[in-house]
Structure 1
Amino acid sequence: MLNLVLFGPPGAGKGTQSEKLIAKYQLVHVSTGDLFRAHVKGETELGKKVSQLLADGELVPDAITIAMLEEEVDKNPDAKGFVFDGFPRTVPQAKELDLFLERKGSKIAGVIALDVDQNELTKRIAERHKISGRPDDDAEKLKKRISEYFDKTIHVLPYYEAQGKLNKVNGIGEIETIYKDLCAVIDQYKV
């Protein structure tokens, strides 16, 4: 099973690249952000719990995030693998993901970090906000989300680097060029 973590700050291009990778490698996309938004829109119990957190640009507590992710993975028992987008965001989440996959007889094959500087991120998300109107993309919430990433989430990278699973790809440039660079890395993971 080919399980990948696509890593990067808000606006790095994880969603855009995930779509292309899913099509090529026939993987299931698991985006915690998309799951959260779906639960909020559907006004589920989980959606009610996370609605205010998302609106404020806060991280959802690990226990809720992990339970939701496990539920999503379990919905796809015949998957060839998964692309985890926006998860894990903390070292405890990374450890829980490893334990969960181990219980299923699987593991993370590799972690790819899209490298994008803060100026480019701000520009991309401002543009995305104009198009999609996502409430978590407004200027103040954006600053908070980027700050959360660089203060907290980035500390997950050394966890995977210590396992020899981390690769970095330049996330600035043409979408197709970035995609080809990602595929070159992923092809090294395939068994």
Structure 2
Amino acid sequence: MNIVIFGPPLAGKGTQCKRIINDFELTHLSTGDVLRDEQAQKTELGIKASEYSNKGLLAPDELVAQIVEKFYHSNKLNKGILFDGYPRNTEQAKHLINVIEKDKSKIDRIIYLKVPKEELLNRAIKRAKEENRTDDKDSKIVQTRINEFENLTIPAIKFMNNLGIETIEIDGSLPIEDIYKTIKSGLELLVK
């Protein structure tokens, strides 16, 4: 079972991912974690990624695609993968679908947490105070991350939907338990 979870920054993906991984025994692919792991191991891909992160830049699509592909092939024999943070745009979505289809597999579901912009900005303020997250203190940075999601990631979701990949779309401003109930019941259909 291969699942992709989407949601703007502060939508609560991390909270839901932990539960999905636990209940469905999926391998979690968080692009940030995988990139940091490659960097820590000083692999060729990790060294290339460091060149960008050391300058405060995002790693380019091609590099991220190689890292995701490597992770997928190393973990594809597990029960399934939960893709979190990838794909971020339509090109990455095309790449991911290509890699999985070459392997005679598919993306079984998309989970999309939708949260109004005002709610996301309020969550950023709250998280900045509670967790001392410097990236959430500057509302311009948060706004930029939200805009990037709207401009790049939403088209990727639409692209995948147009290919017939079923989406569980959820109001991410609902209580955490309610969100997870919807996710769980949608994913349980795949396991039966």
Q: TM-score, normalised by structure 2?
A: 0.86
User: Is 1:70 the equivalent of 2:72?
Assistant: no
Q: What does residue range 68-147 of structure 1 map to in structure 2 within 5 Å?
A: 68-139=67-138, 140-147=140-147
- Asked if 2 retains the 8 angstrom alpha-carbon contact of 1:3 and 1:82, the reply is yes
Runs of 4 or more off by more than 6 Å in structure 1?
none
Comparing 136-145 with 36-45, greater Cα deviation is found at 36-45
Relative to structure 1, the CA distance from residue 153 to residue 174 in structure 2 (aligned partners, 3 Å threshold; closer, same or farther) is same
How much has 1:16 moved relative to structure 2?
Answer: 0.8
How much has 1:32 moved relative to structure 2?
Answer: 1.1
Give the Cα separation in 2 of the matches to 1:80 and 1:154: 27
Relative to structure 1, the CA distance from residue 116 to residue 37 in structure 2 (aligned partners, 3 Å threshold; closer, same or farther) is farther
Q: Deviations over 1:85-135 (max 9, x none)?
A: 111111111111011111222110011110111111112233333444455
1:48 to 44, 47, 50: 50
Q: Give the structure with higher Rg (CA).
A: 2
Comparing 42-51 with 146-155, greater Cα deviation is found at 42-51
Give the Cα separation in 2 of the matches to 1:144 and 1:133: 19
How much has 1:27 moved relative to structure 2?
Answer: 0.2
In the alignment, structure 1 segments of 5+ residues that lack a partner are none
Q: Deviations over 1:141-162 (max 9, x none)?
A: 2221111111221111211221
Comparing 105-114 with 158-167, greater Cα deviation is found at 158-167
- One-letter identity of the residue aligned with 1:152: L
- Asked if 2 retains the 8 angstrom alpha-carbon contact of 1:5 and 1:112, the reply is yes
In the alignment, structure 2 segments of 5+ residues that lack a partner are none
- In the other structure, the counterpart of 1:158 is 158
Taking only the aligned residue pairs, the percentage that are identical comes to 34
The aligned length equals: 187
How much has 1:38 moved relative to structure 2?
Answer: 4.5
